[in-house]
Amino acid sequence: MSFFNFLSNTLGTVIGAVLDTVTAVVETVRDAYDAFVGKGGAVKEAAADESRRKHDRLREVNDEIMHLRNRAQSNGRLSDQERRRWQDLRQERDDLMRVLHHAKEVSAAEKILDNEELITKVEVNLDTTHVLQYNVFADSLGKACPKCARQMKLQWPRDQPVPGPRDFFWGCTGWYFVRGGIRACNHKERLTRSDYALMMDTSAPELSLTADEFGEIVSNPGTAEIVTQRIDDLKSDLSRRKEGVELATCPVHGEHMVLKKKGNPTGLLDTYFLACPYWLPWDQGCAFIEKLKSGSQLAALLKSETGRGVL
């Protein structure tokens, strides 16, 4: 992640430190974190409280932007005053998102330092592709598109439920936004050798299995039924509290993604997805979604929100 000179994500996984040891990476993060604290940076509960306030303001800003957008669509134009207000709000949203992104970096560093005894280095191969899938769920930190500066995310082809290591790639999130039939950005990058070296908390039971072993468990009808019930319960709980998923945010609106369920799924791995709070079907709202198309993603979701994964 950029603040600590490593690419990371909101799960606290370090990506791309192939030539480093766990001890060296943890010490580098600790030094940067201590320096940040020494300069008066907000951490722990103080940082969480500040982030909540920023998120509340971000929601107000997004609501007003969407109101102006709807007025422009219904009236065909905005007044000069409304256009200036729209520009001011977009600038404020950008500023808030930068602050919140930095807070994510600090939180990720805290996860690394709090769990350093559980962090292990994993070299992704055919047996451990599910470890890489586990991390697709979370926001990436420090990986910006070289063409448009939008956030990039780990991806793999949607028609491959069991991808190999070389099937993964970095995709710009601008791909999800279409105007006039043209995508905002379609930039992709192959993973480098170092991207296949992860340092993360591997204490989750799912990560002690091979990709094939975990895949067989998830495909079991009994397991799928239990996982479906647990995710449905989580969805109901988040909806009741009017909260999104903490570790994943919309790259345009900056708000936590909302857990959604398809109406006519073909199976567990075709049932759930994350959507921007301003998402609407048929491209009526924000188009950004994150399909939860692997058992590892579902495990990461349950672990982050309930403290226990699939197993």
Please check whether residue 50 lies inside any domain of the structure: no
Please check whether residue 229 lies inside any domain of the structure: yes
pLDDT at position 281, please? Answer: 76
Count how many domains the chain has. Answer: 1
Confidence label for 161 from pLDDT (cuts 50, 70 and 90): low
Please check whether residue 113 lies inside any domain of the structure: no
Alpha-carbon gap, residue 65 to 60, rounded angstroms: 9
| Tokens read off for 158 | 């949607």
pLDDT at position 2, please? Answer: 56
Find tokens 């000179």 and name the residue: 5
> Which tens digits make up the pLDDT trace of 101-141?
999 999 999 999 999 999 999 999 999 999 999 998 899 99
Mapping DSSP onto H, E and C, the string for 193-240 reads: HHHHEEEEECCCHHHHCCHHHHHHHHHCHHHHHHHHHHHHHHHHHHHH
Alpha-carbon gap, residue 137 to 274, rounded angstroms: 9
What stretch of H or E contains 69? helix 44-75
| Tokens read off for 146 | 């070289």
Domain limits for position 277: 205-306
Alpha-carbon gap, residue 246 to 250, rounded angstroms: 11
- Could you give the 3-state DSSP secondary structure of residue 193? helix
Please check whether residue 218 lies inside any domain of the structure: yes
Whole-number percent of the chain with pLDDT over 90 = 74
258 half-sphere exposure, CB direction, 13 A CA radius: 19
Distance of alpha carbon 42 from the chain centroid: 22
C-alpha distance from residue 289 to each of 109, 145, 259, 303 (Å): 26, 18, 10, 20
More confident position, 115 or 287: 115
pLDDT at position 3, please? Answer: 59
* Helix, strand, coil content of the chain in percent (nearest 5): 50, 15, 30
Confidence label for 275 from pLDDT (cuts 50, 70 and 90): very high
Please check whether residue 22 lies inside any domain of the structure: no
pLDDT at position 106, please? Answer: 93
- Could you give the 3-state DSSP secondary structure of residue 158? coil
More confident position, 96 or 178: 96
Q: What is the mean pLDDT of residues 81-104?
A: 95
pLDDT at position 62, please? Answer: 96
Phi and psi angles of residue 307, each rounded to the nearest 5 degrees, phi first = 90, -5
> Which tens digits make up the pLDDT trace of 234-245?
999 999 999 999
Q: What is the mean pLDDT of residues 197-209?
A: 93
pLDDT at position 191, please? Answer: 92
pLDDT at position 175, please? Answer: 87
| Tokens read off for 128 | 């451990």
Residues linked to residue 200 through DSSP beta bridges, in sequence order: 120
Alpha-carbon gap, residue 65 to 133, rounded angstroms: 34
**∠ CA 218-219-224, rounded to 5°:** 65
| Tokens read off for 213 | 């072993």
Please check whether residue 165 lies inside any domain of the structure: no
Please check whether residue 277 lies inside any domain of the structure: yes
Q: pTM for the whole thing?
A: 0.88
What residue type is 297 in one-letter code? Q
CB atoms within 10 A of CB 265: 13
Please check whether residue 99 lies inside any domain of the structure: no
Residues linked to residue 60 through DSSP beta bridges, in sequence order: none
Whole-number average pLDDT of the chain: 91
What's the N-to-C CA distance of the chain in angstroms? 29
Alpha-carbon gap, residue 124 to 165, rounded angstroms: 7
> Which tens digits make up the pLDDT trace of 19-72?
789 999 999 999 999 999 999 999 999 999 999 999 999 999 999 999 998 899
CB atoms within 10 A of CB 127: 13
> Which tens digits make up the pLDDT trace of 289-308?
889 999 999 999 999 999 99
pLDDT at position 4, please? Answer: 65
